[in-house]
Amino acid sequence: MNRNTENRILQACALIGSGTTSLAELSEAVGWSPAYLQKCFKQATGLSPAEYATQRRIGQFKHSLRQGADVTQAWVDSGYGSSSRVYENGAARLGMLPAAYRRGGAGITIHWTVTDSALGKALVAATERGICAVALADSEQALLAELQSEFPLAELNPVADGERVIAKAVSQVADSLSGKRTATTVELIGTAFQHKVWQVLMTIPKGQTRSYAELAEQLGMPKAARAVARACAGNRVAVLVPCHRVIRGDGSLGGYRWGLPLKDRILQQERACDNGA
């Protein structure tokens, strides 16, 4: 990206930050056509101008809540036209209701258990909305430490893997970890961009891989390969959201939250299942 293009994108970002969100107004201000602005902006940031504006509002909303503002004041400060818009555009991306986010997740109950799987010990955690975490490690202590780090203020309720409150989730995860196809309900907590990446990840056929660059291209953001990699690293639901299927352009495995040996093992297992082994 040349300096002139970069400056115009920065100008558009500044205008969005000051409250200008109309694509027509933005394009006129930077001297580009709306279509060209849309294209360049998405290549540079991984988001359209409208999505960027939404993320800024959500960021301001979250910041206000963290600073102690009540929900009503927070949505006013962040530029939402009504409280309903907060729930339509904000709460879905927070992964929880605004009041719960303000408390850092306090008040949310997460049921969890550690079970033996085809890939070793697996922690399965679920809220009433679905599976919120699947982690893999050699020890139960390491698994619990990861869950506590991810959800420090939630109520963590340990249960046996056969208990009704989590038995279905454990069964779904066990099938996935053994390489079987299964339908699962997950509670994905992340930004709009992370959600986009995770949704595309779940369309990659079992046993196949895509490079970070290919995934960025599929998202219509060819210059966002690094942002895609960061979104993959932020995935906390192992195997169900298959970030193990994303590799580097040269064919090497790249990174993996739960370790490269495990990533390689999962891929080999998936390919063996597809070959009828």
- Set 40, 132, 243, 273: catalytic member: 243
Distances (CA, A) of 142 to 114, 121, 135, 181, 198: 11, 10, 9, 28, 25
User: Which sign does the torsion angle of CA 174, 177, 179, 182 carry?
Assistant: positive
Tell me 122's DSSP state: E
Buried b (16+ CB within 10 A) or exposed e, 190-204: bbebbbbbbebbeeb
Separation CA 97–CA 217 (nearest Å): 33
Residue 121 has φ and ψ, to the nearest 5°, of -75, 135
Instruction: Verify whether residue 243 is a known catalytic residue.
Output: yes
Run of H or E residues at 246:
strand 246-247
CA dihedral 213→219→224→226, nearest 10 degrees, is: -60
Amino acid at 110: I
Cα separation, 62 vs 101, whole angstroms: 8
For every residue of 3-54, DSSP letters joined together read HHHHHHHHHHHHHHHTT---HHHHHHHHTS-HHHHHHHHHHHHSS-HHHHHH
How many angstroms separate the CA atoms of 55 and 93, rounded?
A: 9
Catalytic positions are 243
